[in-house]
Structure 1
Amino acid sequence: MAPSEMKLYDYVDPVDAECVRREVEDLMRAFFPGYDGAIFRNAFADVERLFAGGYPGYRASNTKYHNFEHTCSVVLAAVRLVYGAMVRGETFAEGDCLKGLLAALFHDVGLIQDEDDVQGTGAKHTVGHEERSIQFMRCYLADALSEQDVEDIADCIRCTILAMSPGKIAFRTDAMRQMGYFTGTADLLAQIADRYYLEKLLLLFEEFKEAKLPGYGNAFDLVLKTRSFYKDVARKRLDREFQGADRYMLAYSRSWLSVDKDLYREAIERNLAYLDKILAECNGDLDEFVAKLRRNYVNEPLC
């Protein structure tokens, strides 16, 4: 396949956690040749265990949208932004980059239930799950990093709270503010550029319903509002509040992949174009919408 024909997921598939971890190490070593990676590598393995149900004191992850694949895709997007920024001449300390990547890694662990929490799924913790994630991260990293470093990571995780402006977060340094922007940007890009994004919207609605989030009467309502979410919420947050940090994806693609295009923007535009196409064909019918999706990703009955 010619480089011009390659798509985002042709390079690293977030389903392959080991491949994601290696990509993180390779990109970090491009600018930090002595990068050891032990802290991140150990944390990555433990977060994978946490999602799988093998971490003491916790149930396996049961949120089908916010799963470990999503976490891997956010980590991958975050390290690509860091790399792209440094290609463009931004200078960061290795430790600051590590903290940004750890924020991406831990940002959704708050959706995982304690072993004694047996009612419903982790989706019920959607509102406020970021602070739950921070609490887990604090405990996990307490012996590995300083308290100041841990609080830097907490600030970055808060950049994934859609209702919170990053301007209200008192970042300790400009470098950590940028890492926070990368974390929040990576979370949005990874979701909307997902090759199964349209299919996964139906799973996201199930999480929203359990969390009792207002604004969506049914799954099809969420689908109908997806383009406006991108334009009026995600795009404005990316451009204004995160100061266009996603621009560094093009530098990543050009330098690391020798591809002269932003693979994330391309994937997002493809998803939205296909969404428009099938919405125009399905006449407001959810079942017909599901039938027209590109892949049969969702195999379960929908409410």
Structure 2
Amino acid sequence: MNEKKLYDYVDPADAECVRRETEDTLHEFFPGYDGTLFREAFEAVEKLFFGLYPGYRASNTKYHDFEHTCSVVLADARLIYGAMLEGHTFSQKEATRGLLAALFHDVGLIQTEDDTQGTGAKHTVGHEERSIQFMREFLEGRISEESIEDIADCIRCTILAMAPAKIAFRTENMRTLGHILGTADLLAQIADRYYLEKLLLLFQEFQEAKLPGYDTAFDLLSKTRDFYQHVARKRMNNDLGQVDRFMKPYFKKRWGLDADLYETAITANLDYLDGILSGCEGDLDCFLKGLRRGGISVDILS
């Protein structure tokens, strides 16, 4: 029997499907929900990634692309939904702020039209503040300054080098929504069906950004399980309030599944990686063959 997998429900590559699922989940809790602002922002960010927004080049970071943004928005919406099922009483405006933060969280990796050197990956360090600046400019006059600051604080929860406890959220609800975004960003990446192949693309971004700690793409892949256990999992458990627990109620209520499909997908990805690493015993060609999925080139490893 073929069990349903994460991408069988909503495919992050289908932006319109992601937007509809996001709005449908809010409609369940807010029957009069007006999604105009979110739809306008979604359309603007989509144009931005594809080079159709005035003053900006198209996104050229192949790991942090629009599909990644959509996958984070989707995971964020699912966690918000699950949290409300578990008794969190977000207002419609608060929930929308959380979703807007997910939508804008990586736009700082996109270059302005006069920034023609290299790719947006060179902005990796500090891109969150660039994202916040774009968000401020887009939302100015549309929502209050306090709301804009709330969104900025949520975006800062995606900075791995920053302890969320140091972010001065105005309210506990917004702190929870910040924790949800920080968690959604991690879950969406590691549960991606082509996560292992996409890590090769991430390595290219790391090289341009001159990030230390990974000399080769093979090095990045071999450290992936440790990253999950000692960085991502630890951060979700200790710093982000274990809000990933809200994913299971989402799947139970929305799809009738007694499972967290993100946890299932992450386990499958890491087990698959372990299998390749142990089966190839340092044989690079063997390792490359094991990663030929999704049409993603693995030539950068050779």
Which structure 2 residue ranges, 5 or more long, are not aligned? none
Q: How does 1:73-222 map to 2 (within 5 A)?
A: 73-222=71-220
Distance 2:151 2:276 in 1: 40
Select 1:263's aligned residue among 261, 264, 284.
261
Cα deviation for residue 121 of structure 1 reads 0.3
Tell me if the contact between 2:291 and 2:298 (Cα under 8 Å) persists in the aligned partners.
no
Distance 2:223 2:280 in 1: 15
Distance 1:106 1:278 in 2: 35
State, as a whole percentage, how many aligned pairs show the same letter.
67
Quote the residue 1:235 is aligned against: 233
Distance 2:284 2:92 in 1: 48
Tell me if the contact between 2:197 and 2:298 (Cα under 8 Å) persists in the aligned partners.
no
Which structure 1 residue ranges, 5 or more long, are not aligned? none
Quote the residue 1:288 is aligned against: 286
Distance 1:286 1:66 in 2: 26
Tell me which amino acid in the other structure corresponds to 1:69. Answer: E
Distance 1:296 1:241 in 2: 33
Cα deviation for residue 243 of structure 1 reads 1.1
Cα deviation for residue 105 of structure 1 reads 0.2
Tell me which amino acid in the other structure corresponds to 1:12. Answer: V
Q: How does 1:33-48 map to 2 (within 5 A)?
A: 33-48=31-46
Tell me if the contact between 1:44 and 1:105 (Cα under 8 Å) persists in the aligned partners.
yes
TM-score by length of 2: 0.98
Distance 2:119 2:284 in 1: 24
Tell me which amino acid in the other structure corresponds to 1:220. Answer: F
Tell me which amino acid in the other structure corresponds to 2:87. Answer: G
Distance 1:296 1:28, change over 3 A: closer
Tell me if the contact between 2:194 and 2:294 (Cα under 8 Å) persists in the aligned partners.
no
Select 1:247's aligned residue among 236, 245, 248.
245
TM-score by length of 1: 0.97
Which stretch of structure 1 is more off in the superposition, 59-68 or 290-299?
290-299
Tell me if the contact between 2:199 and 2:221 (Cα under 8 Å) persists in the aligned partners.
yes
Cα RMSD (Å) = 1.1
Tell me if the contact between 1:13 and 1:19 (Cα under 8 Å) persists in the aligned partners.
yes
Distance 2:283 2:67 in 1: 29
Tell me which amino acid in the other structure corresponds to 2:276. Answer: I
Tell me if the contact between 1:196 and 1:297 (Cα under 8 Å) persists in the aligned partners.
no
1:17 paired with 2:15, answer: yes
